[in-house]
Amino acid sequence: MTKRPTTAAARQDGRTVKKGISRREVEDVEEMSAPRTPVIYEVVRRLGDEEMERPATSLWWSGIAAGLSISFSLLAEAILETHLPDAAWRPLVASFGYSVGFLMVVLGRQQLFTESTITVMLPMLDTITAAKVVRVARLWGIVLAANLTGTLFAALFCTFTPVLSPELLDGMMAVSRQLLELSVAEMFLRGIASGFLIAAMVWMIPSAETAKFAVVTLMTYLIAVGGFTHIIAGSMEGYLLVLSGVWPWWQMIGQFMLPVLIGNIIGGSALFAVISYAQVKDEI
């Protein structure tokens, strides 16, 4: 009498079956499963370590490239605003243009300040030391200055050269003027939301695999359609307003740059990074 194989472990064509699943199928399950939270944490933490170890010149030029790339967010948004009919749904579609610059930055592995609000914070949260604080300050200072230099160059190029048609430049100015409607408090609070969304995007990318394009597009689209403020992408708008004489330098810095910068840091570091660390600190 042939003994019937148990359901816990049976033999089928030379492969071990566990609870009705073959060894090959178990491997398929492991490959298809999303990585555990500690794995995502470790990926982002190592990315932060690598960023802080990069030479200053590498950070600078990568940051310049990111500033130039992010300027295409405003350009793409203005192109859509200019060519779409004046309808209630136009902002919903035009806001997709905002994702263009971020896709160039993220997929091109360029250094963007708001991404580093989570990546460089995770290596520091385990044990905070003076050396780690200095490393974070070094990276933030170089990348922020480089990003803002890149967007300033883009704004000067768009304003003082005939690279854009008057119609398209007017479209960029129309999008930029939306900043003038926000108070300092609104700039700050919307900056927190934007910083949180960018940090969430960075956190999601390791498990996104082939869906990185969709993740970046969705998260940055939410920033645009929600009217949230981003220090780097928004600086292109602020510079255009200053160069056109609409906004004084001191007002742009005090009303836009400082509150949005603080808000982005709080949203990306104090909120998302700390929460992300808290959920895995007992597992790492």
Q: Which residue has the higher pLDDT, 89 or 8?
A: 89
Question: What's the chain's average pLDDT?
Answer: 87
Q: What is the pLDDT of residues 182-198, one digit of tens each?
A: 999 999 999 999 999 99
231-232-238 Cα angle (round to 5)? 75
User: Within 13 A of 128's CA, how many CA atoms are on the CB side?
Assistant: 4
Task: Dump pLDDT digits (tens) for 134-165.
Answer: 999 999 999 999 999 999 999 999 999 999 99
Rounded mean pLDDT of 256-281?
Answer: 87
Q: Rounded to the nearest 5°, which phi and psi values hold at 15?
A: -115, 145
Beta-carbon contacts of residue 169 (< 8 Å; ≥ 6 apart): 158, 159
**Looking at residue 42, what is its pLDDT?**
84
Q: Which domains does the chain have, with CATH numbers?
A: 1-33 (no CATH), 35-278 (1.20.1080.10)
Structure tokens at 162: 């005939």
Enter the tokens of residue 122.
């995770």
Spatial separation of the C-alpha atoms in residues 217 and 215, rounded to whole Å: 5
pLDDT band, residue 257 (cuts 50/70/90): very high
Separation between Cα atoms, residue 282 and residue 284, nearest integer Å: 6
